[in-house]
Structures are given as structure tokens and as C-alpha cells.
Amino acid sequence: MFILNNSDPVPLYKQLYNQIRELILSGKLPADTRLPSIRDMAIELSASRNTVDGAYQELYAEGYLYSKPRSGYFVSALNQDTAPQTPAAKPGRNDYLQGPPSNFTYDFHPARLDPESFPTELWRKCFVDSLRRNSEQLVQYGDPQGDWGLRCSIQSYLERSRGVLCDPGQIVICSGLQQSLDIAAHILKENHSVIAVEDPGYHLPRSVFQNHSYTIVPVPVQPGGIDQNRLKASNSTIVYVTPSHQLPLGYVMPVANRLALIEWADSGGKYIIEDDYDSELRYHGKPIPSLQGLRPTGNIIYSGTFSKILSPALRLSYMVLPYSLLASYRKLYRAYFPSVSLLEQRTMANFMEQGHWERHIRRMRMIYKKKHDLLLRSVETHFGKQAVVIGYGAGLHVVLRLPESSHTEVEIIDRARQKGIRLFPFSEFHVNCQPEATTLLLGFGGLKDCEIEYGVAILSRICLSDPVAGIPVDPK
């Protein structure tokens, strides 16, 4: 009745298990059938008792068999209507395989960093050191708010470089802006339901707050930052802003507007979410101090990240909660777990304590300033007065406003793709406002110097009917 095959890699007891299970499920062994005793079955199969016992134990544990003391094992009553179907043929592995990584020669995506910039050797040392010192900590859950040492390092860095005044107890370590916003949306939900966002602006806050059933109010952005008259006229009680370097337009909010915005928040328990995503990268003068630093006791949620300077793949960011929200945070997140690996947090804390982080910022600022300046020069050479550059001087991208006569965004992106150029569609930043003219977002972080020059030259041919200069000699 049963066939066991010694040369099959499946263990014998498992072969027997499979065959009995099949008979039960197909109904060929009906309910309450008594199975042969272990001894009899072993003799019949010329197998060891352990083999039979293993199969019976497993069938028993899964409920296919029941046992009666001193009588042996019997087949359980299964509802045959609910017997498992034979699994459908598995879909081919390739059905969900992503295509090969995009293979653009000139990738102007704004979220890419310099490809050779990751401090591999220093990171390895900091990691190995933190692994050696913390292996006993790895057997338990850590602090849900984040490693205390890392929070202390971030606090002191933020105070020195961003003017943020806070206590490490206000800092929450997150696995990226999305998680910070999720937490913010959650703890604010009790008393708030409408959030204003910059238009044009980053899509992520819109989608996270939408998930939490908030009403999203897009408010136009001017050179001085979000339009505060429109903000005041709205019924929003939360606003998400990028005051140091408006995403995507690059504007810096002047201090008068900052103070007015803080005043708005102070009047009646409103909240500001200040996303300071790339403030370390300012190429002229010092970085602009934060809103939080202007009113450390105000209703400001400050958010920062290691994604722009160090690596977006590490998924390490942080948020500073105002005192007014700490109690709600603790109440709602008491039962949660940390979201970032302890090893990675300790590695980052090591990296900061040893001064590598601030040295790395300085190094990256020089590297990106060079790229930034080269991009501006290339745009001047190839677009001349036919493009207006806005939002320059900081970050990892600039914005180019093209003459009204130029092609549409869709046409340009499509033609660029054919020439091996990847552009991130600027229109994705828009909710209601539409730019008067075609606007390009040129991220330069991931490009080599020669690629910037050549990429901009090709772009000018694509965008302009009458480009200013010829294409330089292909550096490839």
C-alpha cells in the first residue's frame, strides 16, 4: 500500500506521512479508520519503528489522526467540502520579476547620491565595532523610540549645526520620512483632520496623510515659501513645509515668514511639520537654521534624515517631537517596537561620535558644490537665456524653467529617454497649480562631472528649437 524509497532525498517518515495524508484528504481513508499499529506498519514496510512513529506523530499533531489510549491511531473526520485543493500550478518566477535596473546613461533623478561617496571602510569599522560590543543586546527588542546613544549624538549635532534645541527624549529614530509622517499623522489624528501641503510639493506627505483620512489642502508656494494668506484662509490646522530648501522649487523661507508661520501655529494649537531633508547641502553661506530653533517650545515637528548625505538605502531618519505631543506618542507607541535595526543605529552612533559624520558632510558638500556649479555653467552654456534656473545654491537638484515655446514635459521626457537620459517628471510635485511653462527638475547627485556637461548639452537639443551651443565631445 505504501512505498518508501531509500534513494529519495525526502526522509522516509515524511514519505510515509505524505502518502497517508494524501489518502486521508482524498477520502480513500475514511474517518475513524484505525491505522495499523506502529509495529505492524514497520514490519509491513520493512522500515524502522521510528519512521512510522514520526509519520504518525506528525499526522496526529496536524489533526489528521486522533488517538485512543491503548487502541492506536484513527483517521479524523475532515469536512470533505473543505479538503484542500491541489495547489494551482505555481506562476512562473518571472511573472513578478522586475525588469533589469534602468540603464540610463544620464540619470537626472533627484534622489541619487554620488556613486562613489559611501564611506565603506569607515562604515565597516563602525559596524564591526558595534557588533562586537552589542551582540548580547541583539537577543532582545530595543527601545521603540530608538537607541539612546544615537539620539544623544543626533541631539548634539542638531543643536550645533541646525540650531535645533531639543532633548534626546524628544527624538524618535525612524526608518525614513514615511514612518515619521505616519507617526505624526497618527498622534495628531485625535484633534486634527486637515493638513496643508506645499504646491508644488513632495508627494509623500500627501499620500501618508491621505491614508490616515486627512483632508489635504494644497497651498501655492511663492519665493518666500508657502503662501501664508492662503494658509490662513484655509481650515488647515497642520502644515507640512520644507523651509530650508523648498522641495522642489528650492526657495528659502525668509525669517519674517518663518516667524509668521510660527505665530500661525502658536495661535490655537496648530502644528508645523518642518522637513529639513537636505539642509546640510548649502553651497553659499551656512545652512539656514531651522524653524524649530526659532521656537524650540513651539508646536513644531522637526524631521531630518541621513538619506541625502550618507545613504538612502540605510533607511535611517529621525524626528523631533514637541513636548506637547510626547505624551500622546508614548501612549500610542508604548506597545510598539523599534523600526530600525539596533546594529545600524549603533553603527551610526559610532560614526557620529567619532566625528566621521560631520567630516563626511563637509566632504560631500564640496563634491556636490562642484557638481552643482558645473551644472549651472553647463545650463548657461547650452540654454543661455532660454532657460531660467530657479532654486539653485543648495541640495541635489536645480529647477529649470523653459520658454513657453518649448516642448511639453511628456514630449521632453520621452525624447530624453530615447537619448539615454532619465528625467523625473516635475509635474508629479503638482497638485492643483500648474507651472506656466515646462519645468525640468535636474538632479545632479548621481552624475559624474563629464556626464553633467554632456547630459545638459543633449537636453538642450531636446528642449530647445535653437540651442545655444553645440554638443561637446562625448566623454565616454
Q: Which of residues 289-318 bind a copy of itself (CB under 8 A)?
A: 289, 293-297, 307, 311-316
Of residues 206 through 225, those in contact with a copy of itself by CB under 8 A are 207, 211, 213, 224
Nearer to a copy of itself, 192 or 295 (CB): 295
Q: Which residue pairs, CB below 8 angstroms and at least 24 apart, start in 286-290?
A: 287/161, 287/162, 287/244, 288/243, 288/244, 288/252, 289/162, 289/163, 290/158, 290/162, 290/163, 290/164, 290/243, 290/244
Positions 22 through 51 that interact with a copy of itself (CB under 8 A)? none
Q: Does 1 bind a copy of itself (CB under 8 A)?
A: no
Smallest gap from Cβ 467 to a copy of itself, in A, equals: 30
Task: By CB under 8 A, name the one of 19, 114, 194, 419 that touches a copy of itself.
Answer: 114
The verdict on 135 binding a copy of itself (CB under 8 A) reads yes
| Residue 384 Cβ vs a copy of itself, minimum distance, rounded to whole Å | 23
Residue 243 is inside which H or E element, if any? none
The whole-angstrom separation of Cα 368 and Cα 378 is 15
Closest CB 260 distance from a copy of itself, rounded Å: 5
Number of residues lying near a copy of itself (CB under 8 A) = 111
First-to-last C-alpha distance (Å) of the chain: 71
The footprint of a copy of itself on residues 398-437 (CB under 8 A) is none
Q: Does 258 bind a copy of itself (CB under 8 A)?
A: yes
Q: Which residue of 1, 5, 6, 61 would you call a contact of a copy of itself, by CB under 8 A?
A: 61
Looking at 260, 431, 433, 450, which residue binds a copy of itself (CB under 8 A)?
260
In this chain, which stretch among 329-337, 375-383, 456-464, 466-474 interacts with a copy of itself, using CB under 8 A? 329-337
Q: Which one of residues 1, 3, 335, 473 is an interface residue with a copy of itself (CB under 8 A)?
A: 335
Site for a copy of itself in 144-173 (CB under 8 A): 148, 165, 167-170
Closest CA to 170 of 328, 354, 365: 328
Q: Does 176 help bind a copy of itself (rule: CB under 8 A)?
A: yes
Return the number of the residue (221 or 262) whose C-beta is nearest a copy of itself: 262
Cell of residue 467, nine digits: 540651442
CA distance 38 to 58: 13
Measured from the CB atom, the residue of 295 and 356 that comes closer to a copy of itself is 295
Instruction: Write out the binding residues for a copy of itself, residues 365-384 only, by CB under 8 A.
Output: none
Does 82 bind a copy of itself (CB under 8 A)? Our answer is yes
Among residues 73, 108, 123, 329, the one that binds a copy of itself under rule CB under 8 A: 123
The CA radius of gyration of the chain, in Å to the nearest whole number, is 31
Closer of 167 and 474 to a copy of itself (Cβ): 167
CA 296/CA 321 separation, integer angstroms: 10
Nearer to a copy of itself, 327 or 469 (CB): 327
| Distances from the Cα of 347 to the Cα of 116, 124, 133, 134, 138, angstroms | 20, 9, 11, 10, 13
Is 354 an interacting residue with respect to a copy of itself (CB under 8 A)?
no
- How buried is residue 449: exposed, middle or buried, by Cβ count under 10 Å (0-12/13-18/19+)? middle
Q: Which of 104, 119, 121 is nearest to 447 (CA)?
A: 104
The binder of a copy of itself chosen from 26, 27, 34, 138 (CB under 8 A): 138
Distance in angstroms (rounded) separating the CA atoms of residues 120 and 24: 57
Q: Residue 29: name the closest of 69, 101, 78 by CA.
A: 78
Residue 132 or 473: the one with the smaller Cβ distance to a copy of itself is 132
Rounded to 10 deg, the angle between the 356-383 and 148-162 helix axes is 50
391 touches a copy of itself (CB under 8 A): no
Residues 273-292, interacting with a copy of itself (CB under 8 A)? 284-286, 288-289
Contacts of 96 (CB under 8 A, 6+ apart): none
Cell numbers representing residue 208 in the block: 501618508
363/156 Cα distance (integer angstroms):
20
